[in-house]
Amino acid sequence: MKRAIDLFFQGLEWLLALLLAGMTIMVFGNVVLRYGFRSGIDVSEELSRFFFVWLIFLGAIVAMRRNMHMGFDLVLHVVGPNTQRMLLTIANVLILGVCMIVLSGSLMQFHINATNHAPVTGLSMGWVFGVAIPMSTLVGIMAAIRAVGYATGRLSGVPENEAGFSE
C-alpha cells in the first residue's frame, strides 16, 4: 500500500512539473510572439491560467504530504510532548474542518459551472473549479490520519519537512 501511495505522489509531482513547464512555454511563447511579431495565441493565455490554478491546488496536496505548509510552531517548542500532541491534533482537526467546507463549496461550484464554458478554449469551467475537490479530499484525509495519529500517540513531537525544518 505504501508503494502505491508513493507512486501516486510521484506521478502527482511529475504532473506538477508538466503543468509548470507547459505554463512557462505558453507564457514565454506568447511574450515572444507579442513583442517580436505583434501577435499572440489566445488559447495559451487561458490554458496557462488553468494550469496555474491546477498547479497551486495539486501542489498543496504534495506540500501537505511533505509537511511543507507554513506553520507557526513557536508554541510547540516551549510546551511538553503531551501538549504538543494535543495542539497538533487540534490543528489537524481544524484543517480537516476547513477541507470539508472547501469540498462542500467546490462540489456546489463544480455543478454550477459544469455547463459554463471558457471563452477561448470552450473547456468546461468545471475543470477550473473541480481541482479543489481532489485537493480538499486528499488534504483532509492526510489531516484526519495525522489527527488520529497525534491523538492516539502514534505520532509525537513537532513534525519535520523534507528539508529537515520543523513545521
DSSP secondary structure string for all residues of 4-25: HHHHHHHHHHHHHHHHHHHHHH
In the chain, % helix, strand, coil (3-state, to 5) comes to: 70, 0, 25
Which one-letter DSSP state was computed for residue 68? -
Q: What is the per-residue pLDDT for 163? A: 53
Res 165 pLDDT > 60 = no
C-alpha cell belonging to residue 157: 513531537
Mean pLDDT score of the chain = 90
Res 23 pLDDT > 60 = yes
Res 67 pLDDT > 60 = yes
Three-class SS of residue 78? coil
Q: Which stretch of 106-110, 121-125, 151-155, 161-165 has the lowest confidence by average pLDDT?
A: 161-165
Under 8 Å between Cβ of 90 and 152? no
Domain borders along the chain are 2-152
Contacts of 18 (CB under 8 A, 6+ apart): none
Q: What is the per-residue pLDDT for 38? A: 87
